[in-house]
Amino acid sequence: MTTTTIDLDSTEHVSARVGPRGSLENLSQQEAARLQDRGHGGLYSLFRRCALAVLNAGSDSDNPAELFKKYENFDVRIIRQAWGIRLELQNAPAMAFVDQQMIQGIKELLFAVLRDIVYTADDIIESGRFDLSRSADITGAVFHIIRNARLLDPRERPDLAVCWGGHSIAREEYEFTKLVGYELGLRGLNVCTGCGPGAMKGPMKGATIGHLKQRIYGGRYIGLTEPGIVAAEPPNPLVNQLVILPDIEKRLEAFVRLGHGIMIFPGGAGTAEELLYLLGILTDPANAAEVMPVILAGGQASASWFESVHHFIGLALGSAAQARYQVILGDPAQAARRMLVGMDQVRQQRTKGSDAYNFNWGLKIPLDFQKPFAPTHESVAALELNFDQPVHERAANLRRIFSAVVAGNIKEDGMRQITEKGPFEIRGDRRLLAALDTLLVSFVAQRRMKLAGDYRPVYRIVS
């Protein structure tokens, strides 16, 4: 049994000592030293940022600068004891506590952060086991991180629905995601999302009710995130299995390797990035026979969003990409039924090919989709966008464009670059850029870029 000792020093800040819950009860001397190392090469800064983000779970802000300023005196220290470790928190968000005790779910997320940061640093990056410039080794690294987090469910049938969608969506759209999650839960399906608010929270919330009605008490609500985005999209309170991948590319690969089907709700640049990543992979000739149910679902009020996205995909990637997904409007039950049918087809294919149910080794992911892309003004300006490229290569660069927009919108480093140097400049084929601009402008008009405040574009189309 673990306990939390707490000192309330204000209504917003708490100091406490917290014992482990769920993950990583012990650290080696070297691991503890690296976590406390505040210099270059140490893990303190990364651990502090991610720890503060999960302690802020449930926040309605997507501005990491505001979070870090509000809790600029937050500190986390490792206290080593003979029987294990404790974390000493100073000036932590009070919302992580109730009646002088840390909320158990948040405690689990906090130690999941510790687990993933230590494992990634020691076993993935420093061990020399993986050459992260090689495609197979990148996939191997993703697998090992997921396995270490105990996410590989040994259950017999595929049942994990990955749900993508915006963190900044209208209330009506949020309610629709809950209805779809409810229908998924009634059918015994589990949910994996990016773990934040909006369309990442709604399906989990609905699924909990569906599971309870079916007397399913071991429901899985998996959240996958990465250090650059977790502060802007802290885990929602329903997440019961959290994994922090090293970067956005490994996070995206984890989604498509783990998931047995993808449900996509309305969203902004981040949702477009995920869709382009997925379609770029599925339109690669190497994946022509791959079974992957992809359903774009929303209420009738969101029809214009689906029309805009469908039109853009048709122009940018062609009809073959459009054929890889279904659009279902206004019918949550039908969306869930189609997902269930698709998962049965996944089961049949994996059985026939003697492939694993819990990790899709057969999906071919080109290296261009796996290599980390650091959005800078120089790297964005250098991206090629034209119709002479193979479809999957064009999709890879379009995905990077949307990644840059996400970085400028909500990631601390991207926001700082925009403040210092102005918007990212996007170049390429004039017709392709016009379609891209039209789609992004529609996201701005529909307030899908930020949770609050007026939106200032972080990109500029250069013809």
Domain contains 283: yes
**pLDDT per residue over 281-339, tens digit each?**
999 999 999 999 999 999 999 999 999 999 999 999 999 999 999 999 999 999 999 99
In whole angstroms, give the CA distance from residue 127 to residue 102: 34
**pLDDT per residue over 94-124, tens digit each?**
888 988 788 999 999 999 999 999 999 999 9
- In this prediction, residue 450 carries a pLDDT of 67
Q: Is residue 278 located within the same domain as residue 331?
A: yes
Residue 323 in tokens:
């054929």
Of the candidates 302, 329, 352, which is a domain's last residue?
Answer: 352
In whole angstroms, give the CA distance from residue 50 to residue 112: 10
CA angle 391, 393, 398 (to 5 degrees): 90
Domain contains 308: yes
Return all residues near 396 (Cβ < 8 A) that are at least 6 apart: 280, 366, 368, 369
What is the total count of domains within the chain?
A: 3
Q: Is residue 168 located within the same domain as residue 317?
A: yes
Domain contains 339: yes
CATH of the domain at 66: 3.30.1850.10
- In this prediction, residue 28 carries a pLDDT of 77
Q: Is residue 230 located within the same domain as residue 329?
A: yes
- In this prediction, residue 23 carries a pLDDT of 65
Q: Is residue 435 located within the same domain as residue 332?
A: no
Name the residue range of residue 200's domain: 157-352
Q: Is residue 285 located within the same domain as residue 161?
A: yes
Domain contains 423: yes
Q: Is the pLDDT of residue 241 over 90?
A: yes
Q: Is residue 19 located within the same domain as residue 109?
A: yes
- In this prediction, residue 42 carries a pLDDT of 81
For 56-164, where are the alpha helices, taking DSSP H only?
A: 64-70, 104-119, 135-148
Q: Is the pLDDT of residue 148 over 50?
A: yes
Please state the rounded mean pLDDT for residues 422-436.
93
Q: What are phi and psi of 137, to 5 degrees?
A: -70, -35
Band of pLDDT at residue 351, cut at 50, 70 and 90: very high
In whole angstroms, give the CA distance from residue 117 to residue 22: 15
Q: Is residue 343 located within the same domain as residue 380?
A: no
In whole angstroms, give the CA distance from residue 417 to residue 410: 12
**pLDDT per residue over 295-308, tens digit each?**
999 999 999 999 99
Domain contains 328: yes
Strand partners, 224: 243
Which is nearest to 47 in space by CA: 87, 82, 81?
87
Q: Is residue 284 located within the same domain as residue 404?
A: no
Please state the rounded mean pLDDT for residues 395-405.
93
For 353-453, where are the alpha helices, taking DSSP H only?
A: 367-370, 377-381, 391-410, 412-421, 430-445
**pLDDT per residue over 202-232, tens digit each?**
999 999 999 999 999 999 999 999 998 887 7
Distances (CA, A) of 461 to 353, 384, 415: 46, 13, 18
Of the candidates 313, 329, 352, which is a domain's last residue?
Answer: 352
DSSP state of 356: -
Neighbours of 95 (CB within 10 A): 15
Neighbours of 34 (CB within 10 A): 21
